[in-house]
Amino acid sequence: MISPEEHNRMANAIRFLAMDAVEKANSGHPGLPMGMADVATVLFTKYLRFDPKAPHWPNRDRFVLSAGHGSMLLYSVLYLTGYEDMSIEDIKQFRQLGSKTAGHPEYGHASGIETTTGPLGQGLANGVGMAIAERKLNLEFGDLQDHHTYVMCGDGCLMEGISHEAIALAGHLKLNKLILFWDNNSITIDGAVSLSDSTDQIARFKAVHWNTIEVDGHDQDAIAAAIEEAHASDRPTLIACKTIIGFGAPNKQGTHKVHGSPLGADEIAATRKALNWESEPFVIPGDVLDLWRTAGKRSVSTRNDWEAGLASTEAAKKGEFTRRFEGKLPEGFDAAISDYKKKLAETRPTVATRKASEDALEIINGILPETLGGSADLTPSNNTKTSQMHSITPTDFAGRYVHWGIREHGMASAMNGITLHGGLIPYGGGFMIFSDYCRPPIRLAALMGIRVIHVLTHDSIGVGEDGPTHQPVEQMASLRAIPNLMMFRPADATETAECWQIALKTTNRPSGLALTRQNLTAARTEYSEENLCERGAYNLAGSADAQVTIFASGSEVEIAVAARTALEAKGISVRVVSVPCTELFFEQPDAYRTEILGNSPVKIAVEAAVRQGWDAFIGPDGAFVGMKSFGASGPAKDVYKHFGITPEAVVAAAEAKLA
Ligand SMILES: Cc1ncc(C[n+]2csc(CCOP(=O)(O)OP(=O)(O)O)c2C)c(N)n1
Ligand SMILES: [Mg+2]
């Protein structure tokens, strides 16, 4: 048992590590770690189930610091509880180039950092995804998956719109193992929260069916009692912790001055006095460190029991559990895609790629029990629900399909959480135009290097009648600009299957599949064992010495092919290069890129989107057939004609360049 005095000293250890590290770095955020130190101490010393010696233990409780600016709270606790890859040296290197202790917690830098946070609100929605994953896997694997997800957020996280998407869904799904600590300190950067917000947060959470508890965030017993009450709840729980930001700094606590600046030598000296802390910076008194290290060993026997449970689990189930958490695909996956491609080479379907995606998913979901599908209320449009997938409901998590509601931002962020949790591969659908609504989590998935798959249908002016608000023009370019994101734009059913295969096999990057609403003729007519999309761009037709090379992606490949036919009829030789993924293409060896780019005197790119990015294929002198403005409402064929994205336009561009 930890006495109240011991607790205070343990919490002060967090406070001093935070203020001293911020002081040394001369930048950072001491306010939150100092304010939430008591909550963190109660949680990590009494409730959180974790083992610093086995940080990836699949059944650990998850802890997410959604208010990522308070990173020093997390780093301190990881060091204090004995994570081997978080040393006092690492703490001293806070915010330095190449250190694990980056300004905001970055996934992969050190174990115990469950997700990258900093963009406020994301961690909360990640936590919802983690809780969904736990609930789903608990049903599938029983005791092997039975843990809580704890999130710590600030006023900022709750003000961000994404928080509402996340909590509304969590309340609806009754994610009762999700517990949110809100650092209710009434302060943000500009000053008092009341400058910009007067939300009754308790009423808000109640309205979306959360259990709510209000505590003094510096009262150890009250915090503990709240956590225990939360554990017994049949709904997710908000624990509103009334805290003093920068607790302990006598002249600055309770003000925005401690949010994000070093306290300064004088104030730190005053805080040392006020909290009766004699140690030098970065020195934790032996008795306090011992208490923390002992707390870090609390769950060792629970973990050992769990390991024994796994060892005695029946072989097939054990194998499946292990495979799933290693993120490996089952045997037979590639063979199934190959068989499917063989069939496509025979049937050569004329089909919209959104439908081709559904057909591919029908095969994929039959083999991969770990896929968790979903859509932001566009299931019939995104074609994301296959025969294997029945809907998850608040009372039935046996399904494999999440109705995310009209919540693109929350969906994408929760999908990140699902992947980070492990054991499942999430894919979610939305209109490509609304990728703008979920860009932050897509970017974070790319930054973290995690496998999350976005099914982005209605990918161009080919949307037609819904008009310019629904027709992506700049989205493809802007998504391609995100480093490490594989943006695919397949041209037919075969390419769609290949892009899905790449997206699923690539464990360290997210993918987006830009898919059409309108039907496309088959670009690929021969079976190829090789996944041609893997190289990002490849020769579809014509030879290297052609006078004209046309590069195209997705729905414009058929326009390029038709233009080729017309030009060849006029005696002009043409090569068509299909470009399903520019990101992968630019990663190919020089020789391959040189070969594909070729040296035709005339180079043309066709894409029903802005030119940005295509100059890398065609150069500044190349001709681009695509969009220069927003789209227009009308039947797709008419809209294409109106904007001059037709085989005739490509032919004209080629002839003009040749002349
Ligand atoms: C999406 C987003 N917008 C803005 C910021 C910049 N920012 C970082 S912390 C912060 C204020 C957050 O206030 P609160 O959550 O109450 O934190 P506290 O000051 O209490 O530590 C802001 C605006 C951010 N990190 N993410
Ligand atoms: Mg605050």
Mean pLDDT (whole number) for 386-393? 97
- Cβ of 253 closer than 6 Å to ligand 1, yes or no, is no
Q: How far is the CA of 44 from the centre of ligand 2 (A)?
A: 22
Q: Which atom of ligand 1 is nearest to the CA of 153?
A: 15
- Cβ of 189 closer than 6 Å to ligand 1, yes or no, is yes
- Cβ of 166 closer than 6 Å to ligand 1, yes or no, is no
> How far lies 328's CA from each of 129, 238, 325, 423, 504, in Å?
20, 35, 8, 10, 10
In a domain, 317, yes or no: no
Handedness of CA 127, 129, 130, 134 (dihedral sign): positive
Q: Which atom of ligand 1 is nearest to the CA of 245?
A: 20
- Ligand 1 binding pocket mutation candidate from 32, 34, 72, 120 (most atoms within 8 A of CB): 120
- Cβ of 155 closer than 6 Å to ligand 1, yes or no, is yes
Q: Which atom of ligand 1 is nearest to the CA of 118?
A: 25
In a domain, 319, yes or no: no
Same domain as 165, residue 58: yes
* In contact, 611 and 626? CB cutoff 8 Å: yes
Domain holding 250: CATH number? 3.40.50.970
Same domain as 615, residue 495: no
What pLDDT does 185 receive? 98
Same domain as 409, residue 294: no
Protein residue with least CA distance to atom 21, ligand 1: 32
- Cβ of 244 closer than 6 Å to ligand 1, yes or no, is no
What pLDDT does 574 receive? 98
pLDDT in tens, 359-376: 999 999 999 999 999 999
- Cβ of 28 closer than 6 Å to ligand 1, yes or no, is no
Instruction: List the domain range (segments joined by +) for residue 349.
Output: 333-515
Q: How far is the CA of 246 from the centre of ligand 1 (A)?
A: 15
* pLDDT at residue 525 is higher than 90: yes
Q: How far is the CA of 106 from the centre of ligand 2 (A)?
A: 21
Q: Give dist(CA 512, CA 436) in Å, integer.
A: 13
Number of domains in the chain: 3
Same domain as 466, residue 379: yes
Same domain as 399, residue 250: no
Same domain as 576, residue 606: yes
- Cβ of 7 closer than 6 Å to ligand 1, yes or no, is no
In a domain, 530, yes or no: no
DSSP letters for 603-632: EEEE-SS--TTTHHHH-TTSEEES-SS---
What pLDDT does 360 receive? 98
DSSP state at residue 385: -
Q: How many CA atoms lie within 13 A of 359 on its CB side?
A: 21
Q: How far is the CA of 185 from the centre of ligand 2 (A)?
A: 5
Protein residue with least CA distance to atom 8, ligand 1: 69
- Cβ of 156 closer than 6 Å to ligand 1, yes or no, is yes
Q: Which atom of ligand 1 is nearest to the CA of 158?
A: 15
- Cβ of 183 closer than 6 Å to ligand 1, yes or no, is yes
What pLDDT does 244 receive? 98
- Cβ of 544 closer than 6 Å to ligand 1, yes or no, is no
Looking at this protein, which amino acid is placed at residue 193? Answer: V
* pLDDT at residue 1 is higher than 90: no
- Cβ of 103 closer than 6 Å to ligand 1, yes or no, is no
* pLDDT at residue 192 is higher than 90: yes
Same domain as 239, residue 115: yes
Mean pLDDT (whole number) for 383-389? 97
> How far lies 212's CA from each of 176, 208, 219, 413, 480, in Å?
12, 11, 17, 23, 42
Q: How far is the CA of 255 from the centre of ligand 2 (A)?
A: 10
pLDDT range class, residue 71, cuts 50, 70, 90: very high
Q: Give dist(CA 471, CA 463) in Å, integer.
A: 6
Structure tokens at 387: 């025969």
Point out the ligand nearest to the CA of residue 68: 1
In a domain, 362, yes or no: yes
- Ligand 1 binding pocket mutation candidate from 73, 164, 188 (most atoms within 8 A of CB): 188
The residues near 45 (Cβ < 8 Å, ≥ 6 apart) are 2, 7, 10, 291, 292, 295, 298
* In contact, 593 and 585? CB cutoff 8 Å: yes
Q: How far is the CA of 69 from the centre of ligand 2 (A)?
A: 11
Q: Which residue of the set 106, 408, 556, 583 is catalytic?
A: 408
In a domain, 318, yes or no: no
Mean pLDDT (whole number) for 430-457? 98
Q: Pick the last residue of a domain from 452, 481, 515.
A: 515
DSSP letters for 240-284: EEE--TTTT-TTTTTSGGGTSS---HHHHHHHHHHTT--PPTT--
Bin 328: left if φ > 0, else alpha if -120 < ψ < 50, else beta: beta
Mean pLDDT (whole number) for 327-351? 97
Protein residue with least CA distance to atom 13, ligand 1: 188
In a domain, 541, yes or no: yes
Same domain as 494, residue 453: yes
Q: Tell whether pTM > 0.95.
A: yes
Active site residue 408: yes
Mean pLDDT (whole number) for 10-28? 98
Same domain as 411, residue 370: yes
Q: How far is the CA of 288 from the centre of ligand 1 (A)?
A: 31
Protein residue with least CA distance to atom 19, ligand 1: 188
pLDDT in tens, 453-495: 999 999 999 999 999 999 999 999 999 999 999 999 999 999 9
Q: How far is the CA of 104 from the centre of ligand 1 (A)?
A: 12
* In contact, 76 and 18? CB cutoff 8 Å: yes
Point out the ligand nearest to the CA of residue 186: 2
- Cβ of 444 closer than 6 Å to ligand 1, yes or no, is no
Q: Give dist(CA 301, CA 308) in Å, integer.
A: 10
Same domain as 478, residue 552: no
pLDDT in tens, 491-521: 999 999 999 999 999 999 999 999 999 999 9
In a domain, 505, yes or no: yes
Other beta carbons within 10 Å of 387: 10
- Ligand 1 binding pocket mutation candidate from 27, 34, 69 (most atoms within 8 A of CB): 69
Same domain as 156, residue 58: yes
Q: How far is the CA of 260 from the centre of ligand 1 (A)?
A: 9
- Cβ of 383 closer than 6 Å to ligand 1, yes or no, is no
- Cβ of 195 closer than 6 Å to ligand 1, yes or no, is no
Mean pLDDT (whole number) for 421-449? 98
Point out the ligand nearest to the CA of residue 104: 1
- Ligand 1 binding pocket mutation candidate from 157, 159, 189, 263 (most atoms within 8 A of CB): 189
Q: Which atom of ligand 1 is nearest to the CA of 104?
A: 25
* pLDDT at residue 654 is higher than 90: yes
What pLDDT does 439 receive? 98
Same domain as 446, residue 511: yes
Mean pLDDT (whole number) for 533-537? 98
pLDDT in tens, 253-268: 999 999 999 999 999 9
Domain holding 605: CATH number? 3.40.50.920
Bin 348: left if φ > 0, else alpha if -120 < ψ < 50, else beta: left
Q: How far is the CA of 92 from the centre of ligand 2 (A)?
A: 26
Q: Pick the last residue of a domain from 481, 515, 549.
A: 515
Q: Which atom of ligand 1 is nearest to the CA of 121?
A: 1
What pLDDT does 300 receive? 98
- Cβ of 650 closer than 6 Å to ligand 1, yes or no, is no
In a domain, 529, yes or no: no
Structure tokens at 460: 């161009």
Instruction: For strands 519-520 and 351-352, give the pairing.
Output: antiparallel
Q: How far is the CA of 19 from the centre of ligand 2 (A)?
A: 17
Mean pLDDT (whole number) for 578-584? 98
Residue linked to tokens 């005739």: 648
* In contact, 428 and 405? CB cutoff 8 Å: no
Q: Pick the last residue of a domain from 259, 287, 303.
A: 303
